[in-house]
Amino acid sequence: MADAVEAVLEQWRRERPDLDVSPIGVVGRVMRLARLWDKEIKDLLDEHDLEPGEFDVLSTLRRSGEPYALTAKTFLKASLVTTGAITLRVDRMAAKGLVDRVPDATDRRSVKIRLTPLGLEVIDRVLPLHLANEARLIESLDAAEHRHLTAALAALLEARGDTPARTGH
């Protein structure tokens, strides 16, 4: 059985046989999967009163290690979102008691975003559920397909310059 993208490809091949429409086979499928997966991930996070952006903040702070705090500047480099978006997100999360802002002990001009005990509890409770959900989303892949797809997607991201942000010096 063909997927929805294959039907699109067949239509374009019929209507424009002069064009190479094969990129749609990859890009179209990645975009469709992103939309489908985005909804399923949002649904899971909704069950825990979290938005995807909030989960991203909690995850970023949690994986940064103790004391689970980052300066706003460091956080911005890691998240690739605008200052305004981070400010609004952190404001909402602070109102929920998930994070707080604390002065940076080494730079008085800077503020750190820090997980609260509640934020730590929430991320530690929701992360295993999130990972199980993501595993479910790719369960139709065998181990070799998983490795190949991971490598192919990483190559595409690296080619577009999506590499880890440099922090520190």
Query: 32-59, pLDDT tens digit by residue?
Result: 999 999 999 999 999 999 999 999 999 9
DSSP annotation of 98: S
Residue 167: inside a domain: no
Please answer whether residues 136 and 144 qualify as being in contact, where contact means their C-beta atoms are separated by less than 8 angstroms: no
Residue 83: inside a domain: yes
Q: How far apart are CA 151 and CA 169, in angstroms?
A: 29
Say yes or no: 55 and 95 in one domain.
yes
- CATH number for 67: 1.10.10.10
- Here the tokens at position 55 are 């989960």
Number of domains comprising the chain: 2
Say yes or no: 81 and 113 in one domain.
yes
How many CB atoms within 10 Å of residue 89? 20
| Phi and psi at residue 93, to the nearest 5° | -70, -35
Per-residue CA distances from 160 to 78, 81, 100 (Å): 17, 17, 34
| Mean of per-residue pLDDT scores for the chain | 91
Say yes or no: 116 and 69 in one domain.
yes
pLDDT at 168: 42
Residue 120: inside a domain: yes
User: Residue 33 belongs to what domain range?
Assistant: 1-47
Residue 67: inside a domain: yes
With a CB cutoff of 8 Å and minimum separation 6, the contacts of 77 are 165, 166, 167
Query: 11-27, pLDDT tens digit by residue?
Result: 999 999 999 999 999 99
Report which of 99, 15, 102, 92 is spatially closest to residue 61, judged by C-alpha positions: 99
Say yes or no: 22 and 33 in one domain.
yes
pLDDT at 101: 93
Say yes or no: 63 and 137 in one domain.
yes
Is the confidence at residue 74, as pLDDT, over 90? no
pLDDT at 165: 61
Is the confidence at residue 115, as pLDDT, over 70? yes
Helices then strands (H, E): number in the chain? 7, 3
Say yes or no: 55 and 39 in one domain.
no
169 — pLDDT class (breaks 50, 70, 90) = very low
Higher pLDDT, 79 or 27: 27
Report pTM: 0.85
